Structure 1
Amino acid sequence: MLIVNKSLFRKGLMLMASFLCIFASLFMPIWGGHGNGLDAADNMFNRLSKGSSYFIPGVKKQALELEGKSVTITAKVKDAKLAARAVENLTKAGATAEFKDDAVTYTGDLGKILGAALQDADDLFNDHGQAVLERYAVTDKDAEKTVVKAWWSVLDPSIKELQKQKLIQEAKVVGQVNKRGLEPGYNFYGIKSEKVLDNVLPLVGLLVFYVIYTMWYGYAIFDMFGGIGLGMSKPKIKKEA
């Protein structure tokens, strides 16, 4: 390899070496907690996401407006375990339900059914999983999460069934229960909730580090290539004689 500018090449090499050292350290458990640097950053963003994802009270109001609305729905649920759990959930909510031919057929007050699902989601979101376990008298590992997952598995296909029955508004509310209630409750269970305003400095620090670290790598490549004569320059314009 022909090096035309040794000082520039050495500078780029040092930048690349230091970049790789920091890059390697990001995968080591030296950043606090039990994970590496990427885990620490991911956990922080998860906590901040949870702090701004609590929409359940608003969805509960929408579900409350549907109380007294009786529906009969046949929802496809291929997972037999979740289907069986969904039947128990629905029965607990005052509906009649059965699982047959890969589908759960249930009849009941839609508002009360959605209210029960949101109560379980709310408990999970606020890390009160024990309340869900006691409500359904279950003791299996991660049973509280299975309860909420079963709600989602039966309500998701119910949306299309409601649309087929021309119950468009009801279908929209069920969609909101899934997206803004069950999914956040399930996904954020066990994660501490924090507000962005309480973590401004760490957040800004991460963003600044990301920008500087990206430029760091860019300048390392730029200087190394410049050192071997592969630089970027404006082409000279040939003048006619």
Structure 2
Amino acid sequence: MATTSAQYRSRAYLLLIPFFLVFAAIFMPWYPGAHGGKVNGLDYLDNFFNELSKGSAYYIDLQKEKVTRYQGQTFSTTMTMKSADEAATTAKLFTTNNIPATIENTRVSISGDFGTMLTIMLEDADLMYKNDGLAITTKYGINERQVLNSWYKSLGAMEKDLNKGKEFEKAKAVKNAMTKAIEPAYNYYGVEAKPVKDEVVLLIFALAFYVIYTVWYGFGVLFLFEGIGIRLEH
């Protein structure tokens, strides 16, 4: 017996009404937040996946090991910052670590042991990755995120200088420090790392729910179109 338009509409309503009720529930602040309080479902799942991915994005110890080969190698460069304040902040980071730095307007000139410079930056990134921002703020008297941002910009300037001088191996080491240490430490700051094996049930549920919820909506729209006389064909 052929399905009537009314039957298609009924199927659409049976699918779409609970779909939008669940949709509304997802956006309600009913779920535990990362730092206490309640958040909506999207924020909860966003933090959940960040916690899982953080555990597999840690390469700082490996980078520390790799830069030991540059210990004792002198390096000097001049970095142009966006403002005088930014230049002053950058210079302070180096001088706090006993690396000479001079300022001229927005330009910061530094000179010191290349391996030591990278190691210092990697150690600060390690603290941030482990959510110990207080140790960085105490050391420099500067907001921990601002410290990592300044280190990132400093490394970017170093990389350009090294590539210009055709020291590509050192430039690669600098690039790796940026992308595999400073950047993830900054992005994951405040997120608690969790191993996937400890959250596998929730992970499977979240992925399965995403697939089912998408198909659920698709069939609801399909039946609605069929019910109002619009046929979807390949």
Structure 1 length-normalised TM: 0.89
Q: Which amino acid aligns with 2:114?
A: L
Distance in 2 (alpha carbons) for counterparts of 1:107 and 1:12? 70
Deviates more, 1:34-43 or 1:74-83: 74-83
Aligned CA-pair RMSD: 1.8
Paired position in structure 1 for 2:227? 227
Q: Which amino acid aligns with 1:163?
A: N
**Is 1:125 the equivalent of 2:129?**
yes
Q: Which amino acid aligns with 2:199?
A: N
Paired position in structure 2 for 1:238? none
Q: Post-superposition shift, 1:103?
A: 2.2
Paired position in structure 2 for 1:9? 9
Deviates more, 1:103-112 or 1:77-86: 77-86
Deviations 1:6-36 (A, max 9, x none): 1221110221121111112211101233210
Paired position in structure 2 for 1:99? 103
Deviates more, 1:26-35 or 1:46-55: 26-35
Work out which of the two has the higher radius of gyration on C-alpha atoms and give 1 or 2. 1
Distance in 2 (alpha carbons) for counterparts of 1:232 and 1:58? 54
Distance in 2 (alpha carbons) for counterparts of 1:180 and 1:170? 15
Among the aligned pairs, what percent are the same residue?
A: 35
2:84–2:105 CA contact under 8 A, matched in 1: no
Show structure 1 runs of 5+ residues with no match: 235-241
1:104–1:154 CA contact under 8 A, matched in 2: no
- The count of aligned residue pairs is 228
- CA spacing shift, 1:16–1:94, aligned 2, 3 Å: same
1:125–1:185 CA contact under 8 A, matched in 2: yes
Q: Which amino acid aligns with 1:120?
A: D
**Secondary structure of the structure 1 residue equivalent to 2:163:** helix
Show structure 2 runs of 5+ residues with no match: none
Distance in 2 (alpha carbons) for counterparts of 1:181 and 1:82? 21
Q: Which amino acid aligns with 2:158?
A: S
**Is 1:42 the equivalent of 2:59?**
no
Q: Post-superposition shift, 1:233?
A: 5.6
Q: Post-superposition shift, 1:222?
A: 0.8
Q: Which amino acid aligns with 1:29?
A: P
**Is 1:197 the equivalent of 2:197?**
yes
Distance in 1 (alpha carbons) for counterparts of 2:32 and 2:79? 46
Q: Post-superposition shift, 1:76?
A: 2.0
Distance in 2 (alpha carbons) for counterparts of 1:232 and 1:151? 55
